Chain A
Amino acid sequence: MISAPDVVAFTKEEEYEEEPYNEPALPEEYSVPLFPFANQGANPWSKLSGAKFSRDFILISEFSEQVGPQPLLTIPNDTKVFGTFDLNYFSLRIMSVDYQASFVGHPPGSAYPKLNFVEDSKVVLGDSKEGAFAYVHHLTLYDLEARGFVRPFCMAYISADQHKIMQQFQELSAEFSRASECLKTGNRKAFAGELEKKLKDLDYTRTVLHTETEIQKKANDKGFYSSQAIEKANELASVEKSIIEHQDLLKQIRSYPHRKLKGCDLCPGEMEHIQDQASQASTTSNPDESADTDLYTCRPAYTPKLIKAKSTKCFDKKLKTLEELCDTEYFTQTLTQLSHIEHMFRGDLCYLLTSQIDRALLKQQHITNFLFEDFVEVDDRMVEKQESIPSKPSQDRPPSRSLEECPIPKVLISVGSYKSSVESVLIKMEQELGDEEYKEVEVTELSSFDPQENLDYLDMDMKGSISSGESIEVLGTEKSTSVLSKSDSQASLTVPLSPQVVRSKAVSHRTISEDSIEVLSTCPSEALIPDDFKASYPSAINEEESYPDGNEGAIHFQASISPPELGETEEGSMENTPSQIDSCCIGKESDGQLVLPSSPAHTHSDEDGVVSSPPQRHRQKDQGFRVDFSMENASPSSRDDSCEGFPAYELDPSHLLANRDISKTSLDNYSDTTSYVSSVASTSSDRIPSAYPAGLSSDRHKKRAGQNALKFIRQYPFAHPAIYSLLSGRTLVVLGEDEAIVRKLVTALAIFVPSYGCYAKPVKHWASSPLHIMDFQKWKLIGLQRVASPAGAGTLHALSRYSRYTSILDLDNKTLRCPLYRGTLVPRLADHRTQIKRGSTYYLHVQSMLTQLCSKAFVYTFCHHLHLPTHDKETEELLASRQASFLKLTLGLVNEDVRVVQYLAELLKLHYMQESPGTSHPMLGFDYVPSFLYKI
Chain B
Amino acid sequence: TRRISLQKSPLQTIGEEQTQNPYTELLVLKAHHDIVRFLVQLDDYRFASAGDDGIVVVWNAQTGEKLLELNGHTQKITAIITFPSLESCEEKNQLILTASADRTVIVWDSDTGRQVQRISCFQSTVKCLTVLQRLDVWLSGGNDLCVWNRKLDLLCKTSHLSDTGISALVEIPKNCVVAAVGKELIIFRLVAPTEGSLEWDILEIKHLLDHQDNILSLINVNDLSFVTGSHIGELIIWDALDWTMQAYERNFWDPSPQLDTQQEIKLCQKSNDISIHHFTCDEENVFAAVGRGLYVYNLHMKRVIACQKTAHDSSVLHIAKLPNRQLISCSEDGSVRIWELREKQQLAAEPVPTGFFNMWGFGRVNKQASQPVKKQQENATSCSLELIGDLIGHSSSVEMFLYFEDHGLVTCSADHLIILWKNGERESGLRSLRLFQKLEENGDLYLAV
Chain A interfacial positions (CB closer than 8 Å to B): 563-564, 567-568, 772-774, 777, 798, 801-804, 861-862, 864, 867-868, 876, 902, 906, 909-910, 912-913, 923-931
Contact = CB atoms under 8 A, between A and B. Distances in A.
A865 to B, nearest CB: 9
B27 interface: yes
Contacts of B432: 861, 867-868, 909
A912 B422 contact: no
B447 interface: yes
B18 A864 contact: no
Interface in B1-27: 15-19, 21, 24-27
A265 B15 CA distance: 64
Nearest to A772: B395
A687 to B, nearest CB: 42
A924 B64 CA distance: 12
A860 to B, nearest CB: 10
Contact of A804 (B392, B394, B446): B392
Nearest to A876: B429
Contacts of B33: none
B347 interface: no
Given A773-B394, A864-B436, A909 B431 contact: yes
Nearest to B26: A924
B160 interface: no
Given A923-B422, A923-B427, A928 B435 contact: no
Interface string B368-393: 00000000000000000000010011
B24 A564 contact: no
B434 A913 contact: yes
Q: Looking at B18, B27, B432, B436, which has the most chain A CB atoms within 10 Å of its CB?
A: B432
Contacts of A909: 428, 431-432, 434-435
B327 interface: no
A568 B436 CA distance: 14
Contact of A913 (B24, B392, B393, B431): B431
Given A567-B444, A923-B422, A924-B27, 5 more contacts: A773-B419, A876-B429, A906-B431, A909-B432, A926-B24
A804 B436 contact: no
Contact of A774 (B18, B28, B427, B431): B28
A561 to B, nearest CB: 11
B27 A923 contact: yes
Given A567-B446, A798-B395, A910-B431, A928 B17 contact: yes
Contact of A912 (B427, B438, B446): B438
B430 to A, nearest CB: 10
Interface residues of B, number: 38
B25 A867 contact: no
B417 interface: yes
A777 B17 contact: no
Given A564-B446, A773-B394, A927 B435 contact: no
Nearest to A867: B432
Contacts of A773: 26, 28, 393-395, 417, 419
A802 B392 contact: yes
A925 B26 CA distance: 6
A906 B431 CA distance: 8
B10 to A, nearest CB: 18
A488 B422 CA distance: 71
Interface of B: 15-19, 21, 24-28, 30, 64, 389, 392-395, 417, 419, 422, 424, 427-429, 431-436, 438-439, 443-447
Contacts of A567: 443-444, 446
Contacts of A876: 429
Dominant secondary structure at the B interface: mixed
A575 to B, nearest CB: 14
B445 A864 contact: yes
Given A912-B438, A923-B422, A925-B424, A777 B27 contact: yes
A574 B19 CA distance: 50
30 contacts: A564-B439, A564-B444, A564-B446, A567-B443, A567-B446, A773-B26, A773-B393, A774-B30, A802-B392, A803-B16, A861-B435, A862-B435, A862-B439, A864-B436, A864-B445, A867-B429, A868-B433, A876-B429, A909-B428, A923-B27, A924-B28, A925-B24, A925-B424, A926-B24, A926-B424, A927-B24, A928-B16, A928-B17, A928-B19, A931-B16
B419 to A, nearest CB: 7
Nearest to B445: A564
Contacts of B417: 773-774
Given A801-B392, A923-B26, A928 B438 contact: no
B431 A930 contact: no
Contacts of A867: 429, 432-433, 435-436
Contacts of A930: 15-17
A928 B446 contact: no
Contacts, number: 92
Contacts of B438: 912-913
A902 B419 CA distance: 23
Nearest to B447: A864
A549 B323 CA distance: 59
Given A773-B393, A928-B17, A929-B17, A913 B25 contact: no
A135 to B, nearest CB: 42
Contacts of B24: 925-928
Nearest to B434: A913
Contact of A928 (B18, B26, B428, B429): B18
A88 to B, nearest CB: 61
B136 to A, nearest CB: 40
Contacts of B64: 923
Nearest to A926: B24
Given A564-B444, A867-B429, A928 B21 contact: yes
- Give the most central of B25, B389, B417, B433: most A CB within 10 Å: B25
Q: Which 5 A-B pairs have the closest CB atoms?
A: A867-B432, A563-B446, A928-B18, A564-B444, A909-B431
A564 B436 CA distance: 10
A802 B27 CA distance: 15
B155 to A, nearest CB: 46
Nearest to B19: A928
A910 B25 CA distance: 14
A640 B389 CA distance: 53
Contacts of B433: 867-868
Contacts of B394: 773
Nearest to B389: A928
Contacts of B393: 773
A139 B434 CA distance: 55
A447 to B, nearest CB: 22
Nearest to B428: A906
A930 B15 CA distance: 8
A777 B417 CA distance: 13
Nearest to A805: B392
A441 B427 CA distance: 50
Most buried by A among B18, B30, B444: B444
B228 to A, nearest CB: 36
B185 to A, nearest CB: 41
A931 B15 CA distance: 10
A924 B427 CA distance: 12
Contacts of A929: 16-17
A801 B433 CA distance: 35
Contacts of B429: 867, 876
Contacts of A924: 25-28
A925 to B, nearest CB: 5
B175 to A, nearest CB: 47
- Of A563, A801, A864, the most chain B CB neighbours within 10 A belong to A864
A568 B445 CA distance: 11
A902 B443 CA distance: 25
Contacts of B26: 773, 777, 923-924, 926
A655 to B, nearest CB: 15
B389 to A, nearest CB: 7
B434 to A, nearest CB: 6
B410 to A, nearest CB: 14
A798 B444 CA distance: 46
